[in-house]
Structure 1
Amino acid sequence: MRSAGSKPLVQLRKTDPSWRSTLWLITLSLIAACAWALVFSRYFLEQKPRLAGGLSEVQLQGLTEQWLGFYQGDSPIGYNHLVIEPRGNEYFMTDEMVLRVNLLGQVNEMRLFMKGRLDMDWTIQSLDFDLSSEGLSFSARAQRVNNLMKIIIRTGGERLEREISLNQPPYLYTEPVLAEKLRQQGIKPGLKLSVPVFEPLTQSFDLVNLEVQERERVKLAKGEVDAFKVSESFRQQTEYLWITETGEVVKEWHPSGFTALKIDRDTALNLLTSEGTGLNPDLISALSVPSDRYIENSRQVKFLKLRIKGAKLDGLDLDGDGQKLSGRTLEILGAEVPESSYALPFSGDLDMEKYLKPDWQVQSDSEGIVSQAREIVGSEKDSVKATAMLVQWVSRYVEDSLVVSIPSALEVLKSRRGACKEHTVLFTALARSAGIPARMVAGLVYSDAYLIKGFYYHAWAEVYLTDEDGKNGRWVRVDPTFNQFPADATHIRLKIGNLEDMLSLMQVVGQTRIEVIEYQ
C-alpha cells in the first residue's frame, strides 16, 4: 500500500481502485466534514426555531419575525429566517436556513426548511422539515397523536414509518423556549434549570441543563445590549447563550467556533452575496486535530500509541475492540482478520441481533438494499470474503463528494455520491442485509494529504467476525471510504452508533489535541 500523501491531492481514486486514500475524501482531509455535518446536525436541527424575544403573550399577539446570522470566526456562512404566527390556540411556524461553506475550496450550500404547529405552551403538534445539499435530500414529518410521536421519513424514494411512545407532551428543542423558562423563573446569576426535550431527528428524549452566569455587554451589528451569559449543556456538550432580561436570545456560541447573532433582514440577505462568501474559512482545516508528529505511510500503520489532551473523554467508546485506554493514553492495535469465518447469514448470538436489524438510517431490509447486497455477494457464503466484496464495491460505487447531509443508505444507493458517512451508512446496510453484523463508528484518522498533517474527523464501520470454528468473536475495523479491510491503526474510534450516538462527538470537536507516542 502507498501512503495517503503519495499521490497529488487532486487525483481521483477511480484511477486506482485498490487504493483511495488520496481521493477527494482525504481531500476532505479525511472528512473533517463528517464532524462538520455532526456539528450542524446539532447546531441546526436542534436549535430551531429562534424567536426575537421571550414567549410572553404580549409579544406573541401578532406576527413575529427574526433573522439570525451564522458565522465561523468572523466570516459569515449563512442565515436563518423565522416567522411565527399565533392562530387561535396554537402557533404556526416557518423556518428557513441557508448555509454556504468552504470544504477544501469547494463551496457547499445547504438549505433547511421547517414548518410546524405548536400548542400554546410550545409542545409539538406536528413538524415537517426538508434538507437539501448538493443534490442530496432528506425530508421527515413528526406528528403527536395522544401519547405517540408518529414519524414519517422520505429518503431514497421510499417512505419509512415509525412510532415513539411519549411519557409527556414534548417541547420543541429551541433556545427561545429555554430562554422563556428562565425568564419565568426570574433570570439571574446562579439560576439552574433542567428542561425535558424531544429531538425529532434522532427521535429521542433528553434533558437540557441551563445555568445562568454573569451579565455581559453583547456587541451586535447595530449597537450593544446587556444580556446574561447562560451555559446550555446537552449530552456532555456545552455551548453558551446570551439572553436579555425579557427573554430575548441575542447570541449563541459553540466551542468549535460557530456563532449566531441577531441581525436585521437586509443584513441577513446580504450575508451570502458578497464576493468570496463561503470560501473562507476552510472548515476542514478549522476542525482538524493537529499532530505533534508526522506519521509516515499512515495507511500501513499496524500499531499506534498516543495521548489525548484537552477534551473530556466521558461517554466515549475509546476502550475495547482493538483499542486500550489507560488514563489519557490510548493504544490501537492492528485488526486480526481470519482467513475464513462463519457461513452467511450469521446466527446463534442474541447480542448480535441488533447489528443485523434495520433502522431509519440503515434500511437493510429495503428491497433495493437487499437486491444490491445479493448481487454483490452472489453465492459467496464466507463472511470474510463477503465483507471484502462489499468494502470494495462501496468504495468503487460511491463517488467521493463533499456533501452535508443526514446519511441514509437508500439515498446514497440512489445518488451514488457522498463523503465518509455516506460510504459508511451504505456499507453497513449492505453488510446487515447480507447477514454480517455491522455497526457504524466515528472518530479521527490520520492524513498527510492536506495542508495540515494531522487527524481529521471521519466515519467508518466495524463488522463482527469469528474464527472458522465460530470462536474468538471480535469486531474488525473496515473503511469503505479508503477501501480498507481491515482499516489501519490510525483510525481512532470515539463513538459507536447512529446519528443520536454521534452527537456525543460534539464534546471533543474543537477541544482535542493529540500527542503521538509511538507507531509501527
Structure 2
Amino acid sequence: MNVNKKNAPGAPGAGLGGGFPHLVAAPLFPLKGKRPLAGRKSRAILDVMERLSFSQAAAGADAVAPQTAGPAAIRRELRASLVFAALCAAAFLGLLLVRLDFPGRLAGGPPAPPEPAAAPGFARQSWMTVYQQERRIGFAAGRIARRLEGWELEETILLRIRALGLVQPLRLETRAELAPDLALRRFRFEAGSGGLRFRAEGEKEGERLRAVLDSGSGPQAVEMRVPGRTTLSAAILPALAGRPLRPGERFAFDVFDPAALAAIPAEAEVLEREELALPGGPTPAWRLRLSLRGVSQTLWVDDAGELLRARGVLGLRLERASRQEARERLDALAGEDWAELAAIPAGREIADPTALARLRVRIRGLPPGNLALHGGRQRLEGEVLTVERETLEEPPASLSPTARGALEQAFLRPEPFIQADHPRIREAAAEILRGAEGESELARARRLVRWVYEQIEKRPVLSLPDALATLERRRGDCNEHAVLLTALARAAGIPARVEVGLVYLRGRFYYHAWTLLHAGRWVTADAALGQMPADATHIRLVSGSLAQQADVAAVIGALALEILE
C-alpha cells in the first residue's frame, strides 16, 4: 500500500459534483430479505490559504511545516477546514426535523399522542419550498400512507448550499415502514452530495435496533438497544393530526439519529393559535416550538396536522407549496455562505493567531447542556474563558497501569467512521511510522500529523466524516482530517479523540474540528492546519464521539465572543 500517493485534482473521483441532482433520485438499496420500501473564493477563504503558510518558527509552536512553502503549496491548502458538515447536520436537524425521517424514541415526561385514526388507503403528500433568507435553495417532498399492516413514510429533500464560496448539491432521502401506532419497523436513509454518499438502513425487533451504515468505505454493521416505543420524527405531525391542541401542551421525544448513532432529546410545545399570512389569504394555524439538542425552530401547522411554514437556524425557512411551485428553478446564486453565517465576530483582530500561546475571551450565550469548555488547556471562570497552548518540554505524567488501561479502553477502540482496527488503516499507520520504533509517542504522533496534513487535499465536503473513506479519497475538510488522524493514532497505539469547537480567522471565530492525542500527555493536534499543539485560538466546545460532537448544534447562533487578551 503506497500511503504517499495523492489524488491529483483532476483524477477520477477527486472532485465534487457540479450540478444540482436530478429530481428523480436513484433507487435506494433494498433491505435484505424484505421487499423494497415504496419506491469565487471569498476574501476569507484566501486569508485562510495565507494563514496556512505558517512555518515552524511561529512563536515556539511545534508546528508541522509543509515540505514546500511556495504559492502552489499554499493554494493547495483550501482553508482552515471549518466544521461545515456538523453545521449542515445541525441546521437540517434543527429546521427540517419534521421533514427528515430519523427514527425517534418517545420518552418519558409529557405524554405521547394516541394512535392516529386513519383507515387503510389514507394518504397525504406535501411539498415545501426551502429558502435561505429570501433565496430559493431547494424543496422537500413527503408522503405518508396508511396500509393494512401499518404506515409508509417517504421523504426527499434536494438543496443547493453555498459553503466557503462553493455551491454544492445535497440530496437527503428516507423511506420507512411503521406499525399502526407509528412505531418504527424499518428505515432506510441516504444523503448524497456530488460523488459522496452516506447510507443507513435498519430494522427494529423488540428493543434491538440493527443497522448497516455505509459512507463510501464499505458497510458497517451496528446494533444498539432502543428501549420503549419508537417512532420517526416525520411522524410527529401526523400523530397530532385531528387531535385538539392546547397552548402550553408539550410532547417529549428522544430522536435517534442514524448518522450520529445516538438518541437525541427533543420536545414539541404548542404555543398559540394565530392567523398565518399565506399567498391564498389568512389561514388559521397552530404555532409550535420544536427543540432538538437545544436548537429551536418554529413550526406552523393546520388543524389537519399539515406543516404550513417552518423557521430555523441560519436563515432557513420552509413554505408549503404545490408540486409545481416547489420544483421551480432554484436561484442561481444559492443562499448566503453557511460558514460565514455561523461565524462569530471576535470584536478585535489577532495579528498572528498561529503564534498565540494564550487567549482570554468573554463568552456569552452559553446554553445549558454538555459543553466541554472547562478542563485540560481551557479554564472557564464565570463568563471568562482562558485557553493556554500546551508546552511539550515538560516531562510526561506517569500513569498507573490501571489508568493507562482505562485510557486505552476508551480511546484506542474503533468506532463507526473511526475504523482504527481496519487492515488498511493499520497498514497505513505502520507505513507512516516505519523506522520510528525507537521514538517517543510524541515524535510518532508528529509523524502522523505531518502525514495527514501533507497528504489530504483540503476541500469542503458535504458528507459524514469517515476515516477509511478519507484515506482512500485523500480529500476532505477539517472533519475528515480529524477522524483520519484519530483512527491512525489509535491504530498506532496512541489514544486519541475528536474535538469540535471554534478557531479564529480574520476577526471572526469559525466552527472547526481537530484531534486530541495522548502522547505521554494530552496534546491538541490540528492536522488540517498542520499544528501540534494547536494554537490558543482553538476553543474546544465538545469532545468525544459523533453523538457528543453533535452537542455543538446547541450553540449555533447563540454564542457571543469578546477577545480580552
Please say if residues 219 and 225 of structure 1, whose CA atoms lie closer than 8 Å, have aligned partners that are also in contact: yes
Alignment of 1:140-289 (within 5 A): 140-174=200-234, 177-183=235-241, 186-272=244-330, 274=331, 276-278=332-334, 280-289=335-344
Alignment of 1:256-335 (within 5 A): 256-272=314-330, 274=331, 276-278=332-334, 280-312=335-367, 314-335=369-390
Letter in structure 2 aligned against 1:68: M
Please say if residues 118 and 146 of structure 2, whose CA atoms lie closer than 8 Å, have aligned partners that are also in contact: no
- Which of the residues 145, 150, 175 maps onto 1:90? 150
Q: Give the corresponding residue for 2:513.
A: 459
Uncovered stretches (5+) of structure 2, i.e. residues with no partner: 1-42, 55-64, 102-113
Alignment pair present for 1:356 and 2:407: no
- Which of the residues 184, 191, 197 maps onto 1:124? 184
By how many angstroms is 1:377 displaced?
A: 1.3
Report the CA distance shift for 1:185/1:264 in structure 2 as closer, same or farther (over 3 A): closer
SS of corresponding position for 1:158: coil
Report the CA distance shift for 1:495/1:348 in structure 2 as closer, same or farther (over 3 A): closer
Q: Give the corresponding residue for 1:378.
A: 434
By how many angstroms is 1:59 displaced?
A: 8.2
Which runs of at least 4 in structure 1 moved beyond 6 Å after TM superposition?
4-7, 10-16, 19-22
Alignment pair present for 1:31 and 2:87: no
Structure 1 CA distance, aligned partners of 2:44 and 2:129? 38
By how many angstroms is 1:154 displaced?
A: 1.9
By how many angstroms is 1:171 displaced?
A: 1.0
Report the CA distance shift for 1:42/1:6 in structure 2 as closer, same or farther (over 3 A): closer
Letter in structure 2 aligned against 1:414: E
Superposition TM-score, scaled by structure 1 size:
0.87
SS of corresponding position for 2:518: strand
Please say if residues 83 and 478 of structure 2, whose CA atoms lie closer than 8 Å, have aligned partners that are also in contact: no
Please say if residues 87 and 553 of structure 2, whose CA atoms lie closer than 8 Å, have aligned partners that are also in contact: no
SS of corresponding position for 1:256: helix
For each residue in 1:420-473, what CA deviation from the matched residue of structure 2 results, as whole angstroms up to 9, or x when unmatched? 11111111111111111111011110012xxxx31001011111132xxxxxx4
Alignment pair present for 1:416 and 2:471: no
Report the CA distance shift for 1:311/1:71 in structure 2 as closer, same or farther (over 3 A): farther
Alignment of 1:332-343 (within 5 A): 332-338=387-393
Structure 2 CA distance, aligned partners of 1:500 and 1:369? 23
Letter in structure 2 aligned against 1:374: A
Report the CA distance shift for 1:64/1:245 in structure 2 as closer, same or farther (over 3 A): closer
Of 242-251 and 192-201, deviating more is 192-201
Q: Give the corresponding residue for 2:542.
A: 495
Superposition TM-score, scaled by structure 2 size:
0.80
Letter in structure 2 aligned against 1:413: L
Alignment pair present for 1:486 and 2:533: yes
Report the CA distance shift for 1:435/1:13 in structure 2 as closer, same or farther (over 3 A): same
Report the CA distance shift for 1:41/1:254 in structure 2 as closer, same or farther (over 3 A): closer
By how many angstroms is 1:56 displaced?
A: 4.6
SS of corresponding position for 1:429: helix
By how many angstroms is 1:104 displaced?
A: 2.7
Please say if residues 188 and 200 of structure 2, whose CA atoms lie closer than 8 Å, have aligned partners that are also in contact: yes
Please say if residues 66 and 83 of structure 1, whose CA atoms lie closer than 8 Å, have aligned partners that are also in contact: yes
Structure 2 CA distance, aligned partners of 1:295 and 1:358? 38
Alignment pair present for 1:368 and 2:424: yes
Letter in structure 2 aligned against 1:349: G
Please say if residues 252 and 268 of structure 2, whose CA atoms lie closer than 8 Å, have aligned partners that are also in contact: yes
Question: Considering only aligned residues, what root-mean-square deviation do their CA atoms show, in Å?
Answer: 3.0
Letter in structure 1 aligned against 2:158: V
Structure 1 CA distance, aligned partners of 2:406 and 2:83? 35
Identity of paired residues, percent?
Answer: 27
Please say if residues 249 and 269 of structure 2, whose CA atoms lie closer than 8 Å, have aligned partners that are also in contact: yes
Letter in structure 2 aligned against 1:464: H
Structure 2 CA distance, aligned partners of 1:101 and 1:266? 21
By how many angstroms is 1:169 displaced?
A: 3.5
Alignment pair present for 1:81 and 2:132: no
Letter in structure 2 aligned against 1:42: L
By how many angstroms is 1:57 displaced?
A: 4.0
Structure 2 CA distance, aligned partners of 1:286 and 1:59? 45
For each residue in 1:307-362, what CA deviation from the matched residue of structure 2 results, as whole angstroms up to 9, or x when unmatched? 0123425421000010000111100001122478699xx98331442111111121
Number of residue equivalences:
493
SS of corresponding position for 2:197: strand
Structure 2 CA distance, aligned partners of 1:342 and 1:192? 50
Structure 2 CA distance, aligned partners of 1:185 and 1:352? 52
Please say if residues 335 and 476 of structure 1, whose CA atoms lie closer than 8 Å, have aligned partners that are also in contact: yes
For each residue in 1:13-60, what CA deviation from the matched residue of structure 2 results, as whole angstroms up to 9, or x when unmatched? 699826799667764x6516244223246248854347xxx9954487
Please say if residues 178 and 231 of structure 2, whose CA atoms lie closer than 8 Å, have aligned partners that are also in contact: no
Q: Give the corresponding residue for 1:477.
A: 524
Q: Give the corresponding residue for 1:389.
A: 447
By how many angstroms is 1:493 displaced?
A: 0.4
Q: Give the corresponding residue for 1:469.
A: none
